Chains A and B, each alone.
Chain A
């Protein structure tokens, strides 16, 4: 075959093909990396943060919240932290959120990734409605559950009596003492982490998890029948119909019909 110079048209087509090919290749590598780094979900965000998916697309990673925080609670994820790069988070065992009443970290956010309206009640900033996470107690390692008297987390809680209460229970082992068990109430807990900071055990027996990770969901099929409010959720419930061999017949026919096999 004779060696021929490439025609302009062929050159153009080849160049376009190469561009598209390389872009596809790079695109997949890039996407895979982004998917990997955004997968870490065990991060505690500043108060007022949007849901994690929206937060990741809205946060511009400027660190103004970090600079506004008077306690150096907030940090930006660094390369090597294995967290979505540059996004703000805090580690309550090191420095918890001290729940400033004026929430300086939220109004400075230029993008609304920290949403002022989510920490506002009746037009006034209200840190008590913040939802950074939820405290979880490990009953195995909490010494209060062993029967040793400790209420460090309860005392540390900024909304004590609401977010954490102490439940008294007779200690059958000794017969004359009481368990004083800390109970976290998910409707009041803001996830500030002061309990985790205060916990006396080597590795904290009470710790903050993102609410999404800490809680289950009953779904619409299980209703508190004695609660009028809860019963309303039935309206959302959709029917799931399973069709099998047996369900072709009505229930009674199906039960009677199978008797034939006995004889």
Chain B
């Protein structure tokens, strides 16, 4: 039992936050709860503290909308949180699509899809930055928030809170895409919101750190990691994972049987490296 908890503790906590947030949002619309109103695009905590999606605000800016004060405060709250603390924690601790793509990755490994397609991935992880740039260009030309009109994240989240319609189709598409087309396809290659948070969280404080002296080169961490390019240092050097593309999902920490990976605060991790 202790072993089980040890191997899935962060996964459990992540599902707890993801589902817990969904329940709070759902309760706000269904039963008038005021803990967390709205949805992931923009919300209110206890009817007071605003939170707004900074990427949506960026598209609005590109589209030529006038940004209201409430929106800017909300954007400030969210940006400060991920910029300073959480890194891409939105992706692995909040976003409901993460549950879909994690499940797809799990099934993919289970049925041996990865052996069929081989290690070579047919798409670059930089695709998301192209899509990010493209979304801003289209927003500017069309005068609408381009990604917000196709985003399966808001589609599904809105669907759960306000009524699904055909939104479930988006879940199926992403699941099948991740399962049969591209490993970690949506979250790791396509999603411009993930790309946006990758850029934003380059300096955030909570980081995974590798302790090379404990590593037995089992490579379990690299298998389980949805962004395994960020773990380039495994077995080579004791370094913190500094890439903004790390989602702080902590799967690598849980699967490691040798305590070679752990969470740390950025500056402390760097001090350890220089021996201070």
By a beta-carbon cutoff of 8 Å, the part of chain A in contact with chain B is 19, 22-23, 26-27, 30-31, 33-35, 37-38, 53-54, 56-58, 60-64, 66-67, 75-76, 78-81, 84-86, 108, 110-112
| Residue picked from B60, B67, B162, most chain A C-beta under 10 Å | B162
Q: Which residues of B contact A31 (CB under 8 A)?
A: 138, 141-142, 146
Contact A62 to B70, CB < 8 A, known contacts A76-B158, A79-B170, A85-B149: no
Q: Which 9 A-B pairs rank lowest in CB-CB distance, beginning with the nearest?
A: A78-B165, A62-B42, A112-B68, A80-B166, A57-B63, A79-B166, A62-B38, A80-B165, A110-B70
Say yes or no: B162 contacts A63, CB within 8 Å: yes
What is the bound-complex CA distance between A76 and B42, given in angstroms? 14
Say yes or no: A111 contacts B42, CB within 8 Å: yes
Q: Which residues of B contact A63 (CB under 8 A)?
A: 29, 38-39, 158, 161-162
Say yes or no: B158 contacts A86, CB within 8 Å: yes
When the two chains form the complex, which single residue of B65, B155, B164 contacts A57, counting CB atoms closer than 8 Å? B65
A-B contact pairs, 22 of them (CB 8 A): A27-B137, A34-B138, A34-B144, A53-B143, A54-B65, A57-B60, A58-B65, A60-B53, A60-B148, A61-B154, A63-B162, A64-B44, A67-B38, A78-B158, A78-B162, A78-B166, A79-B169, A81-B165, A111-B65, A111-B68, A111-B70, A112-B71
Q: Which residues of B contact A58 (CB under 8 A)?
A: 60, 65-66
What is the bound-complex CA distance between A85 and B28, given in angstroms? 21
By a beta-carbon cutoff of 8 Å, the part of chain B in contact with chain A is 28-29, 32, 37-39, 41-44, 50, 52-53, 56-57, 60, 63-68, 70-71, 74, 130-131, 133-135, 137-139, 141-146, 148-150, 154-155, 158-159, 161-167, 169-170
A-B contact count (CB 8 A): 142
Q: Which residues of B contact A81 (CB under 8 A)?
A: 165
When the two chains form the complex, which single residue of B37, B141, B158 contacts A61, counting CB atoms closer than 8 Å? B158
Q: Which B residue sits closest to A58, measured CB to CB? A: B65
Q: Which residues of A contact B63 (CB under 8 A)?
A: 57
What is the bound-complex CA distance between A86 and B157, given in angstroms? 11
Say yes or no: A60 contacts B149, CB within 8 Å: no
> How far is the CB of A260 from the nearest CB of chain B, in Å?
58
Say yes or no: A76 contacts B163, CB within 8 Å: yes
| Residue picked from A26, A30, A60, most chain B C-beta under 10 Å | A60
